[in-house]
Amino acid sequence: MKRKTYIHGQLRPAEKLLVYILLGAGAILFAFPLFWMLSTSLKSPGDIHKVPMVWIPAKIQWANYKQIFIDAPMGNYLWNSIWYTGITVVGTVITSSMAAFAFARMKARGSILLFGLVLSTMMIPSQVTLIPQYLLFNKLHWTGTYLPLVIPAFTASAFTIFLMRQFYLGISRELDEAVKIDGGSHFVMYFRILIPLSAPAFATAAILEMMSRWNDLFGPLIYLNDGAKYPLSLGLVNFTAAYGATPWHLLMAASLVAVLPLLIIFFFAQKYFIQGIVISGSKG
């Protein structure tokens, strides 16, 4: 008789210990850059080049975080990233959810073909459309402003449409029939039924879009030429311009300030994020 791998549906103690060891090792591996960033941000310039490396400096330099706001307009960079990311996330999620609702709940001739065309746009590299887009926005006199970065966000995202459509397909269509019997329209179905049930999908789409926009360097680099309009991603690139050599302790402090908002938001929204990914990925 073959030995059973599970005891009452659970892993054996030795197997569970192995799983915990592997998960712990993976967590340490992925968290190592963050630990190194935090450690370096609290060091003095002399501590950075010590051999062997000092993880906890003898004197913690909290003043490094104050210094980055003195040497560079970090407050301005931070504010630009906050409002730019907020507007684009709201615009992308709302318009994508409307398009996803149409593909998931409304029947129309050619909708499957149209949905396939929408998905096919994800296979086009952004570099292919870069020059035509730039020429268009230059003709509109939008270059040098946030308009080329903000306005396209209100035309939906192919990936977000796909993600939210998968979630909508998992919601029972009996609700549609109930709304029709009560005399409700598609707008009632969307605003009164689907949106309240779609918190995980909205959270997932918002987090993914926020990470993309917050970390976006290429777009601001192409369209923005005024330092006062730089977001954090572009501000960090120019952070060392005023120094003869890279001040690693200050650069790591600035980088940690840039990463911290994403970590905080993901920490509080991870339940909805994981739920949205699992449910959307399990629906055909």
Nearest to 257 by CA among 230, 229, 233: 233
**Tens-place pLDDT, residues 161-171:** 998 888 888 88
Q: Does 80 share its domain with 216?
A: yes
pLDDT in tens, 237-263: 887 776 767 788 888 888 888 888 888
CATH code at 251?
Answer: 1.10.3720.10
Q: Are residues 212 and 154 in the same domain?
A: yes
Enclosing H/E stretch for 14: helix 13-41
Q: What is the largest CA-CA distance in the chain?
A: 77
**Closest-CA residue to 210 (of 83, 123, 114):** 83
Spatial distance between the Cα atoms of 97 and 101, rounded to a whole number of angstroms? 6
> Is the predicted pLDDT of residue 2 greater than 50, yes or no?
no
Instruction: Tell me the range of 105-119, 176-190, 239-253 where mean pLDDT is highest.
Output: 105-119
Mean predicted confidence (pLDDT) in 60-80: 87
What's the average model confidence in pLDDT over 98-113?
A: 85
Same domain for 35 and 73, yes or no, is no
Higher pLDDT, 4 or 135: 135
The boundaries of the domain holding residue 155 are 69-281
The Cα 204–Cα 160 span in angstroms is 9
Looking at the structure, tell me whether residues 27 and 139 fall in a common domain.
no
Contact (CB, 8 A) for 64 and 41: yes
Rg (CA), the chain: 24
Q: What is the pLDDT of residue 95?
A: 93
Q: Are residues 226 and 171 in the same domain?
A: yes
Q: Above pLDDT 90, what percent of the chain?
A: 19
Do 28 and 143 belong together in one domain? Answer: no
**Tokens (6 digits) for 243:** 């120094």
pLDDT score of 277: 57
| pLDDT band at residue 17 under the 50/70/90 scheme | confident
Mean pLDDT of the chain: 83
Total domains in the fold of the chain = 2
By the 8 A CB rule, do 264 and 214 touch?
Answer: no
Same domain, 101 and 12: no
Q: Is residue 32 part of a domain?
A: yes
Alpha-helical (H) ranges within 124-247 are 126-139, 147-150, 158-169, 174-181, 186-188, 195-197, 199-214, 218-223, 232-237
